[in-house]
Chain A
């Protein structure tokens, strides 16, 4: 007997609102339908009303976990538009904060995966060690979450000797704890029983559905923007792109732990080889009319910002394509023929950052295929008209 289970928009498994409507038969999922838009805030429109400098802080607040990735992606694009090149020391500090953010995000993900699987002790331990990284970031940038260390043309704050020593000490502690979590995460029997074989995504499907980040790297596709298209200070560093072959949630866990270990290596290299010099160059107020696409490897995958300028001190258009948006199609594929009990883990394995992924709403007319972007008043009228015609019996199939 099939019936529909709505997961979301409000659900304890989800950190952010998203609606997944599953058709289930017993405990097996037969089909899934994804509805977005609950976290839409109108950021792209707002970005057109603010100046280049003010937009740094606006893009930072697209997300809390990957805040630095959005700022850096934006600032890189604007620096290209203004034709300024930040000095080496600024680029090194920017990359250092980026790697520290990757460390904190992966430790957070390990904890969340533990919590979704019911392994609360693992959750508490990884988040306790994440405090080490948060304290380091607070010391470098002045805040634990929104670092705001980028400015147009470089970074705002410098590192001194005492801070460098603390960073190196913190990295040693974190490395030892991460190796221990790698061992526990892959050998604790009840935890592995939840992760292995769950959310299978074959290599061909991963490439066909354009998945990004650890989701696709766990299916054997070695794609990483830091290697394919190096930005900031990544040309000077050397590291391995982490991949796994198992194509399931356990593979994604292994990929993230490998990325943690390579992040420690990169951060240590950056801190020890910090070049002397300025940390920023002066940026002009206006940018010449041009357009640019900026790419960045966020902890969740490839983050792209498209920026268009028209010669004034405000951008003409800012379009953000976050990695989670690219992974949604792959999620629906992974959910089919899984168990209900695996939904939170499959969804958590793509490391969803729903607030990154909510941009404009486009209505596609199913019959004629025409697309239009609608105003809110029109949507309201459409919804009122639809509700008058809907049947209210239980298990009604919601028409698309």
Chain B
């Protein structure tokens, strides 16, 4: 029975199947909001309201021809998309969506799992750099170096801001953090500064405007993913989508009070809260233009890092007041 439940958990919900369906829905939502903000229509024809468009894109890419450059390291080139997809899907398992019994699930919810989640979300950046490096193409090499340069900017503020609610909640376990804020909702308010900073950092992690320098289409063709095509590109795109869902889920779990209510109500909570976060991310995407990579790093260290430290100070202060 437990084995069946585990398999359902791994494969169906919140496993691979749910992540696939939900991340394509989130990509549709993002594209539709972005289009409506720009006074145009977005996907309309495939499926009702264009809902099946991202799925159609995925299957079209799977059917296209797959080309590996001559000089590239064949094994590394092929394995990287699979690794990337596996890593973000595993990160998805750690979200506190369906924790049926807080004391008895050591595999997916343990003390310190917020740190594991943050590390798992940093790995795709390294994978993108390796993908650019192994493509042996000057455009991909530049894209790879830009991805790592941006990592120096946003990673520190992201860690600091995600960990401040954890400090306030006195726990390193995602489900406990979520439970703490469900019992004391007014304590979400001191964390709003961290919420804003975390949103900007997540936008940088997902490489969306204004931080989409690594795959800036008008400058370096495709950036890190220039040489990828066919099934490998399909996996990379799916990896980006699932990364968006998992990051939005992380922010919603830590800042917006988690997903209470068991199976169905918890699912509704999850959908609503992540869609709110993704709506704000799409708004930022439509609002600004791309900034250069050196401007990203200077912006991050001049504004984001001090604000994150300020957030930490606020949290420590309030914790002292509460005790």
Contacts and interface: CB of A to CB of B under 8 A. Distances in A.
Q: Do chains A and B touch in the complex (CB under 8 A)?
A: yes
Contact of A117 (B38, B142, B221, B290): B290
Contacts of A181: none
A191 B220 CA distance: 19
Interface of A: 3-5, 11-13, 27, 114-122, 124-125, 128, 188, 190-191, 193-194, 339-344
A27 B219 contact: no
B40 interface: yes
Interface of B: 37-40, 138-139, 142, 209-210, 212-213, 216-221, 286-295
Contact of A121 (B287, B293, B294): B287
A114 B218 CA distance: 11
B142 A340 contact: yes
22 contacts: A3-B138, A5-B138, A12-B218, A115-B218, A119-B290, A120-B38, A120-B286, A121-B37, A121-B286, A121-B287, A124-B39, A124-B40, A128-B39, A188-B288, A190-B291, A191-B288, A193-B295, A339-B292, A340-B142, A340-B220, A341-B292, A341-B293
A3 B294 CA distance: 20
A340 B219 CA distance: 8
Contacts of A120: 38, 209, 286
Contacts of A117: 289-290
A114 B219 CA distance: 13
Given A119-B288, A124-B38, A190 B210 contact: yes
B286 A118 contact: no
Nearest to A119: B289
Q: Which 3 A-B pairs have the closest CB atoms?
A: A118-B290, A119-B289, A124-B38
Nearest to A128: B39
Nearest to B217: A12
A98 to B, nearest CB: 29
A114 B294 CA distance: 20
A11 to B, nearest CB: 7
B213 A341 contact: yes
Nearest to B290: A118
B153 to A, nearest CB: 15
Given A121-B286, A194-B291, A194-B292, 5 more contacts: A13-B218, A118-B218, A120-B286, A121-B287, A122-B289
Contacts of A116: 218
Contact of A118 (B38, B142, B209, B220): B209
A191 B213 CA distance: 14
A190 B290 contact: yes
B200 to A, nearest CB: 12
Contacts of B217: 12
Contacts of A188: 288-289
A12 B37 CA distance: 24
Given A119-B288, A119-B289, A12 B221 contact: yes
Given A12-B217, A121-B38, A124-B39, A114 B289 contact: yes
B219 A190 contact: no
A120 B38 CA distance: 9
B277 to A, nearest CB: 20
Given A3-B138, A5-B138, A13 B219 contact: yes
A13 B217 CA distance: 7
B195 to A, nearest CB: 21
B161 to A, nearest CB: 21
Nearest to B39: A128
Nearest to A11: B221
A10 B234 CA distance: 24
A1 B290 CA distance: 27
A121 to B, nearest CB: 5
Nearest to A344: B218
Contacts of B287: 121
Contacts of B293: 27, 341
